[in-house]
Structure 1
């Protein structure tokens, strides 16, 4: 196990281990970490489908799910491009969404509390949008160049 070292600024190298001189630096073996990640999660031979054939790699599954979300593509369009049936695409998208919710729900997917609400109101007011909470469409905002079709 590597021990943390404190970097001492020098003329040749004013700082190390980050952008703040004197911060702790812990050497990392990035190449080994990457190899482990790829082997553990992205190894195409690691999983087989029910018929015993190699399954879709995580790269393929994530790509399909992200394309469906980013471009609004229907699941049945993935068969032509990625060779993945609609049901597999939908299962993959559901698994990705469930994973994202599970990982980030405590920090980002929670009910607003009063402190959050106050911070958002102040931020909106600082940017010239008073009373923005509850009116996300900005219909109360005067827009001098508003297209006539929207007036």
Structure 2
């Protein structure tokens, strides 16, 4: 109970001494043990990097469902409302275009709502552009330590898979963006399929919001 109240409501460890009859030190240890066992129970499947077997399954599933060959997953960001934000932090986590405290969440999601990467941005005026610079997601791409996802298109070999993203993202060879104003039929078809495939992550965000605020 001490761990749940601290994580869910943002209460401090020393505020539980009268209600739960626990000391500040005990309350802190409860949070540590709770998080430790959550990681032990779920780290083999969730919030981990995909292995070679996972990559092949993702390739096959996305090709059959969306028609995108060698697509890994979709990446996007959302501002998650923080209703229980402590008063002292509300100024840091409130943006003018929202008017209430929010936490920006970057996630990578597959077609079956498997989330294997999340990053919560630090306080400030964060958006999809600058949160990606703070996330450690592309470190493996830069250092070349990620899973083997090489493939060949038109005789050119690419050493990593790609992710679908919105047009606000900068141009990276691992990110395939939509075409904002397609003019030719071929471009219109691509934009239609790309935006339809990105419904996976929009569905995930809808589920997270429903769980947080039923």
Q: Which TM-score band (shorter chain)?
A: 0.3 to 0.5
TM-score of the pair, normalised by structure 2: 0.28
- Larger relative contact order (CA 8 Å, sep ≥ 6): 2
Larger gyration radius, structure 1 or structure 2: 1
Instruction: Name the structure with the higher strand share.
Output: 2
Q: Which has the higher helix share?
A: 1
